[in-house]
Chains A and B, each alone.
Chain A
Amino acid sequence: MFRLTPDPIAIEPFDSESAGGFVSFEGKVRNHAYGRNVVRLEYEAFSEMAVAEGDKLIAEAAKLHGLTKVQIVHRIGILEVGETAVVIQVAAPHRREAFAGCEWIIDQLKWRVPIWKREHFGDGTSEWVGIGDEKQVSQSNDAFTRQIRLPFIGEQGQQKLRDARVLLVGVGGLGSAALPYLVASGIGSLGIVDGDLVEVTNLHRQILYAANEVGRGKAERAAAFARRINPHVQVQTFPERIDSHNAERILADYDWIVDGTDSLETKFLLNALCKRLGKALVTASIHQMEGQILTVIPDGPCLQCLFPEIPQDGCVGTCSNDGILGVVAGSMGIYQATEVLKGILGIDGLLSHSMLLVDLRTGNSNRLTREMRENCKGCEGIVAELTPFVIQSLADAESRFGRFDIVDIRELDETPLLAVAHLRQPRSELGDLSNIELEGPTVFICATGRRSFQLVDQLRRAGKFDAYSLARGVEGV
């Protein structure tokens, strides 16, 4: 039964002989909202409709969660801080249904029952917060009830998705398909990297974009698409082409990286950097009506274990030269989203030790087992020709950074003295690397380039992406 009352709510006895689990929820007026001081609240209801909708809600909750009895009392009028605004009591055969049902009801109540709340702030101002208000439903799971029912998801899995941070590198054919499903499934934070503008030749496969968006930035349009699906998703855009100079910085805040690029060089770069930074990578490629997909996890075999020699772009064909059917990119992009969801939710069967080949023309697919290769450069996080932090000369550094610091890390007895260095800081005296603060691009120099390479490698693994190493050391000056 759903009831509205202008009087303080007294919690009444609540029994149900067929139930073993009883959960009571009390919502009270708190003294702050969105960082502001709240002194009192005012509730106003469209009574007839609120009661009708409330009773409907109770019937649904009973059916959905197997509740044997539900009672909701909602206060209206002016309430002071500390007063009870709503009491929800549910009974179910077991505690699990009782907890889940009670939580479902409070989310639904805020979302759809026509009760408005006016917050009176300490500074004398006030604000109405309506039903379905974004702030109120930000934690609601309503949109995800159909997947929460899956035994391997549940409320816990949904929370994992909400906590997940996924980066889409490239929102072309693959990324266009992965993005809607990742966002719709409730992924909480999404990064989008793409420096391209929408072109008319993209539209047949890059389904995030409409004809009237030609000429606009892909990253920004993809972000708008994501927000239309789920207004609560946190989106960060990187309207730039990912390369060895910016990749570590872009990857830093994300746990799952979806490679939707069409460049082998970028794929191998992402592979090595994900290994270096301990991230998971789902990489896919398409060729006419075929697709390849594999997942690289921190302790599994990598892309370079499979292809030790990095192929040059152009040797295997590209979409622009060879043509591509939209559904093929779409299918593989959805496979990628599936891998990310499996990984986040801990579902078995990740392609972390295999590669899936899909032929959409014949309907054949092959899942091929792959293993780690000893001394794999990719696994070590180092790909010589792509190593992003080796500077060939100080002149290169100057043209790249403008201003930068030079630190000589040779021991104090090493000669010759290096006049260009701003600081002489022997490697043996550096101590804990995580405490080192770099103020802008910093080039480290040693005698041969070997010690500085190792140091910069370690610094970058500790998140210091402003560290660079000078090739050939003092000789290279």
Chain B
Amino acid sequence: MQINAFIDGKPYSFDRPMTVLEACKEAGREIPTICYHPSVKSIGACRICVVEVEGFRNLQAACTLPLSDGMKIKTQSPRITSSRKMNIELLLSRHPNVCMTCESNGNCKLQALAYEYGIEEPAYGVQLRGLEPDDSSLFIYRDLNKCIQCQLCVRVCDEVENMSIYSMAYRGYESLPEPPFGLPLGSSQCVSCGQCASICPVGAIVEKPSMGKARWWELKAVKTTCPYCGVGCQLDMYYHPKTNEIIKVMPSEENPEVNDGIATCVKGKFGFEFANHPDRLKKPLIRRDGKFVEVEWEEALDYTADRLKEMLRKYGPEGIGLLGSAKCTNEENYILQKFSRAVFKTNNVDHCARLCHASTVAGLAMSFGSGAMTNNLLDIQHADVILLTGSNPPENHPVYGSRIKKTIRENGTKLIVADPRKTELVDYATIWINHKPGTDIALFSGLLHIIAAENLADETFIAERTEKWEEMKESLKGFDPKTVSEITGVPVDLLYKAARLYAEAENAAIIYAMGITQHACGTHNVISLANLAMATGNLGRPGVGVNPLRGQNNVQGACDVGALPNVYSGYQRVGDPAMKKKFEEFWGVTGLPTNIGLPVTEMIGHPNIKAMFVMGENPAVSDPDSEHVEKSLAALEFFADTDIFITESNVYADVILPAASTFEKDGTFTNTERRVQRIRKVIEPIGESKPDWWIVQELSKRMGYEMNYQSAEDIMNEIRRCTPSYAGMAYHRMEKIGLQWPCRSDEDPGTSILHTQKFAHPDGKGKFTPMTYNDPPETPDAEYPFYLSTGRILYHYHTGTMTRRVKAIHEKEPEVKIEINPTDASSLGVKTDDLVRLTSRRGSIEGKVLVTERSVPGLVFVPFHFAEARANTLTGNFLDPIAKIPSFKVSAVKIEKIDHKTAEV
């Protein structure tokens, strides 16, 4: 395809359909715009972008006019100038002249155009609206006196965020973007994603927490990757170079494949204040006589290295355990596992992936030969049917959750939700399967039974690409619809409906998360999904696949670079003699251990483990059975920790080394779709804090193993040399857009969809694994009659060390809310905000009730962010035998109402 056009007299040719605006931009002709943004549909409202096009009598809005062959376009003429001037004057005639105090001063399109076109006073006089600003939201401040009616906020909230909070209410020139029924924003369903503030071209919608903190021209911006979830949104961080403070966050426009060129959620947009929080650790701390005292780095490092040496001498490699962190960079986790293996000669190294997706890594590796999301975040729009299970993207992976809503709304994609909780996406679902917690294997094998019985399986795919289908079919005999219905509590006809909908779709994608993995049978849960996808041929092309949503920003990467007890970077097995030899040579050491080390869930409290080095994790809140974890940490003979804050875990440490936060260092994170993305230093490290890789390197040197990296990039270059799937990940190639692994050379563009031709097993075949179902290790009984499920909520992240130090977020969600179904609430005699005590066999917590339909009868949900009401006091350390992941999603509890009077005593 070729479109030829003349722009300002010069010929150009374009290789794809586009608008006149885009063509002019490509031709290097800047055209001013107000109501245009590349992330939303153009509506041609402001007419600032007008151009002259031969053959049209009137001026044309460039942003909506499709380019056609032979067009002759003029971007500048007196007529264009006077039309633009008139439009700007019309806007100014309703706009208060308050640039001096406006938040957007210096970043306002109206102001810039008035300046460019030299308009001091609008010719039509000024008539203001005289409206009260809307100050009701904690995050967004709206002053519609300044609104220029471009409708960008309306479109972004509808088309990108898919919340559709605003509409242009009232008619004609009075029409303004308003939440439904004229409610203040704070009383609407707004999820505080901040996108309307990011997109508003003037000061009508602004970020409230940043108000009054700085003028735009004082700020500098650095692009980096969001430190919260596995989506990995690309953000421009604006900071004040004089005060070293982060002031506000804007979505990067460069990465539409990740966050649509505009999208953020409340955590990415507003969750940065923790970095400058006064609680930040600024100097190394050593415990002396039971108290922490500040010391200099030299002393802290010498002391730590000496004690670690002593521990190694006394207890040998088996006595030491190390934890990496899914919050830290690839480079840091790589260094940590190298430190563990090359210096301590132990494979006792792990991190919190154990707690979220260890079963994914194990299960998908068994089925497909590679334990990661098969497809990418963008191609969900090609799915005809989505099977979403054990995942709540609108709260946990919000930007991706919005994409799921969008494909349902725009492309008519059908959604099957299989979840014991009635999460937000159930409202969008064609089928909601509300199975009993812990019965996933029965459910998915039951669906596969129906698919096989009704000849809906993809026999060609099965024959050409997989193995063991016959054995699989044999094992399905025990999963007839009647039996499965009894186990799961799902009506037989719903099983049929779901099986048919999934199997008959042209392209069906499976999306899952911790509702599947965090079980004592997590690995088999994952495999049961992989079986479904293989049997229906839903792998290896756009819109299909088995797609685990990884929780932490870098949980994928921390696994990839080997912060796991059984593999080096790139999942190269520690037990493989060839790998041992490879890494001994590569690292210049001898005697690398070949036995698989302890996972975190067994390391903590293991009688052999006498000393631990923990890099930025908080197991006392994140791991099951908190009280047991605390006791074990306290009992360690030596415990060294790096963190940005004092946490519930490192209070037990002998030494705490202050770490630089994610905004204070360089490196890379790997998001859930295997995309390695740069993070960059935005502000100077707070106090004397240092990047974790620097800390580990200094300790390693002191323990006699030289490390001499000058930068994070140095470390990545080493990772590339020993990790085939990361070989092409050069920093300079990831300046703008990250690369997806496997990326095997400098020329390799990366891999957006896995298993397109063959699976990653050596023989290229996918493996079916026959399934058996067992009841969860703990189910409700007379004494503990409720199912307990734990997880996250939109506004907070994990153990809350970061989000709970963000003022507006803390104000929004200050305390735990125990989610109980209305029926249960009335039989317990409790209402929202009443205090209850939850008790399991391991302990109890207290907190306020939230009565909600999101919990089904018999199930309570407790978010695990709140250290004062630790959900993990209740959970048990029941481990999956293969992946050693704990069963966070099923425990049994009882609920008691607490009398307010007694509670206050």
Physical interaction between A and B: no
